Every structure is written in structure tokens, then in C-alpha cells.
């Protein structure tokens, strides 16, 4: 018998239901598509970049992120999606057996990444208003506390007072996942990464920027924090193409991204109204998605997929129960989801 790793025995592969559907609203990506600069970069320089390695530690991307975020290059780390930045941060700051605390429910990959690095996931339920339980998170004594704002899957934004108290009282690192920040009103906490020694803010090119297929994410924090994450990361986490396209998008397509995000937000609110008219109670959201509590969500999700609409199903979410998470984008897609839901419910 091969002596496989003991701590990996019960770890499943991540596999949300994914039947190909005409309307896929299951992963909160930019449903308007990819940024226009991506087409230009791939056509004009894509082929030329294939035979050589990209430069180690993505210096061009770091410069573009630094300019976009208004920080120095030393404040920036990047990774193969923000998934990778989170994973690297857990490895960088914690020893096997250490605790990672996070609100529950939150991004499902966090407990999974914790287990992959032999860390102890410590969920702390959100308060009944879906706000952070700051005292509960602090009481875990974890050396790394993860907070997602806007939170996936609830869509709620952490209050500044709560997050600042958490950051200022935590004994270790606070990782603030802002994958959906472009859809918020005033929910940007990049300033905490600039002013606090213990805050790493992660962001992604996968959601508002429309580049999920290229797997590019980034993090901002104090240079001493970033230096540790870079050690865990290693030199080559992007393809040369991914780095070049992300640089172009951050430089040339910010207005395009903002227009897509604004329309997703308008359609999110329109969809929320329509769902309420159906007697449903979607949670207020500042992401590009709505969490809709629905009994027997698995069966509902299956019936929607039979109608060519894919949404993300959650069963038994802490404080919520069964629910569907519906990604928001162009109105015709929302209309298809609504029509299918009306038939199913
Ligand atoms: N954080 C949150 C909250 C997410 O929902 C996701 C994607 N589902 C990620 C991080 C990771 O995204 P990516 O690796 O594509 O940057």
C-alpha cells in the first residue's frame, strides 16, 4: 500500500454541479464577456509569447496592479486566480495544525484550502443580520482570520467599524477577500491594506474584469506580508498570455469593466424585485449575485438545469438553509432564469 497523506484521506475534489447550460449563472463571472483589450493582445502578441517563460514573479502585472490600486510595487503579490493568493497566504503565515478562522457561510474554498495545508478550519457563524461576529472571530485566537466582503454567498458587506475593530484587535493576519468589490457602493477596504501591517486584501480579474479563464488574481498588503506570500507562491504562477492580457485590461479597460459592473448591479436589483414579486426573499446583495433561500434547493437547481439555466445550489447554509445563488448580468439572461424559476416553483 502506498502511504498516502493521512490528512488528505477525506478531502473531496471541488465539484459543483456543472451540466453545460445555455444560461450559466453559477459562478458570478462577467456575463457580458471578456474585455476588448484581451482580443487585441491575444491576436497581436499571443503567439509570440508562447516559446519563452514569463518573467518570474510577474513584474509587469505587479506594476499594472500597483498603478491601478494606487500602491507601490512592493505592496503587490499576484497568483493563479485569487484562489492561489489565498492558498499561498495560508501556507505563508501558518504552520500545519494552526487554525484559520472565517465567518460561516463564506467562500467554500477557504476551509478546503485550509485542509490542503493541514490547517484547522474554524467556522464562526455570521450574526443573524449576516454581519461579522467580531468577538467570535477574535475568540478563536487564530493567527489568520479570513473575511470576504462582499461575502460569497450572502452578498453582504462587512461594516467598516466591525472590520477595523477586527483588524486592530487580531493577533495575526486578517485576509480580506474583495473578489466582488467592483459591485459595491463604498465597500472598498484597500485602504486597510495600505495603513495596517496585518491586512492582506485579495482581488481578482475573474469577476468584474471578465477574465476568469485566464486565472489571474492579486493581493495588496504591507511589503513584509507580501514578501512572505511571494515565498509561498514561487516564481511562475501565470502564463505569459494571462499576464499580458491582465496588464492590458487593468490599463485600458477600467471604464469597460465599470460599465459592465454598473449594469450588473442595475439588473441585480431588477431581478431582486421580480423575485420578491414571486414571493421569494433574496438577501440584499452588494455582489453581482443574489442569494435566494428556497426549500429543497437541490431539486429546484436540477429542474432549472433541465430548462438550460444553471445556478449555484447550497444546501443547509448556516443561518440561511437551502438557497440558490444567481449570478447577475445582461437582462435577457435574468429573464431566462426568471421564466425557468416561475415554471419550477
Ligand atoms: N473569492 C471569492 C469570494 C470567490 O467567490 C472566488 C471565485 N468563486 C474567488 C475568491 C476565486 O476567484 P479566482 O481564483 O478566479 O480569482
Between helix 254-277 and helix 331-344 the angle, nearest 10°, is 20
User: Any idea where the domains of the chain sit in the sequence?
Assistant: 18-33+255-344, 36-252
Determine the pLDDT at residue 15: 78
The tens digit of pLDDT for each residue in 299-323 reads 999 999 999 999 999 999 999 999 9
The fold for domain 18-33+255-344 equals 3.90.1150
Q: At residue 19, what are phi and psi to the nearest 5 degrees? A: -80, 135
Residue 150: asked if its preceding bond is cis (omega within 30°), the reply is yes
Q: Locate the ligand 1 atom nearest the alpha carbon of residue 207 and give its number.
A: 15
The tens digit of pLDDT for each residue in 103-119 reads 999 999 999 999 999 99
Across the chain, which has 345 residues, the per-10-residue mean pLDDT values are 90 80 96 97 93 96 98 98 98 98 98 96 97 98 98 97 98 98 96 98 98 98 98 96 98 98 98 98 98 98 97 97 98 98 96
Q: Locate the ligand 1 atom nearest the alpha carbon of residue 212 and give its number.
A: 15
| Ligand 1 pocket, residues with Cβ under 6 angstroms | 81-83, 107, 148, 152, 177, 179, 204, 206, 212, 217
Q: What is the pTM of this model?
A: 0.97
Query: Sheet of 289-293: strands edge to edge?
Result: 289-293, 321-327, 312-317
The tens digit of pLDDT for each residue in 217-261 reads 999 999 999 999 999 999 999 999 999 999 999 999 999 999 999
CATH architecture of 36-252: 3-Layer(aba) Sandwich (3.40)
Same fold, 18-33+255-344 and 36-252: no
Q: How far apart are the first and last CA of the chain?
A: 50
Cα distances (angstroms) measured from residue 344 to each of 39, 278, 292, 309, 312: 39, 12, 14, 11, 16
The set of cell numbers assigned to 280 is 421569494
Q: Locate the ligand 1 atom nearest the alpha carbon of residue 180 and give its number.
A: 3
Q: What is the helix (H) or strand (E) element at residue 233, kind and residue range?
A: helix 223-233
Cα distances (angstroms) measured from residue 205 to each of 67, 202, 208, 248, 250: 15, 11, 7, 11, 9
Amino acid at each position: 500500500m502506498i502511504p498516502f497523506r493521512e490528512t488528505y484521506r477525506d478531502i473531496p475534489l471541488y465539484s459543483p454541479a456543472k451540466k453545460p447550460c445555455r444560461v450559466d449563472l453559477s459562478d458570478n463571472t462577467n456575463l457580458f464577456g471578456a474585455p476588448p483589450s484581451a482580443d487585441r493582445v491575444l491576436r497581436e502578441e499571443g503567439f509570440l509569447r508562447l516559446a519563452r517563460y514569463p518573467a518570474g514573479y510577474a513584474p509587469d502585472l505587479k506594476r499594472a496592479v500597483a498603478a491601478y490600486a494606487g500602491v507601490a510595487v512592493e505592496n503587490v503579490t499576484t497568483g493563479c486566480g485569487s484562489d492561489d493568493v489565498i492558498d499561498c497566504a495560508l501556507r505563508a503565515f501558518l504552520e500545519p495544525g494552526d487554525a484559520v478562522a472565517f465567518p460561516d457561510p463564506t467562500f467554500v474554498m477557504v476551509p478546503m484550502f485550509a485542509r490542503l495545508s493541514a490547517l484547522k478550519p474554524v467556522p464562526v457563524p455570521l450574526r443573524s443580520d449576516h454581519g461579522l461576529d467580531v468577538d467570535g472571530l477574535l475568540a478563536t485566537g487564530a493567527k489568520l482570520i479570513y473575511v470576504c466582503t462582499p461575502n460569497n454567498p450572502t452578498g453582504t458587506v462587512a461594516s467598516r467599524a466591525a472590520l477595523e475593530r477586527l483588524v486592530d484587535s487580531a493577533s495575526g493576519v486578517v485576509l480580506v477577500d474583495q473578489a466582488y468589490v467592483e459591485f459595491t457602493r463604498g465597500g472598498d477596504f484597500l485602504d486597510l491594506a495600505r495603513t495596517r501591517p496585518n491586512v492582506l486584501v485579495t482581488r481578482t480579474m475573474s469577476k468584474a474584469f471578465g477574465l476568469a479563464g485566464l486565472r489571474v488574481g492579486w493581493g495588496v498588503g504591507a511589503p513584509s506580508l507580501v514578501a512572505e506570500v511571494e515565498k509561498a507562491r514561487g516564481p511562475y504562477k501565470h502564463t505569459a498570455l494571462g499576464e499580458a492580457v491582465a496588464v492590458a485590461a487593468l490599463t485600458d479597460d477600467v471604464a469597460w469593466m465599470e460599465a459592465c459592473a454598473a449594469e450588473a448591479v442595475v439588473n441585480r436589483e431588477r431581478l431582486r424585485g421580480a423575485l420578491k414579486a414571486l414571493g421569494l426573499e433574496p438577501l440584499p446583495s452588494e455582489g453581482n449575485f443574489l442569494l435566494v433561500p428556497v426549500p429543497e434547493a437541490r431539486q429546484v437547481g436540477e429542474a432549472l438545469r433541465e430548462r438550460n439555466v444553471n445556478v449555484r445550489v447550497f444546501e443547509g447554509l448556516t443561518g440561511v438553509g437551502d438557497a440558490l445563488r444567481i449570478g447577475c448580468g445582461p437582462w435577457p439572461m435574468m429573464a431566462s432564469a426568471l421564466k425557468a424559476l416561475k415554471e419550477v416553483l
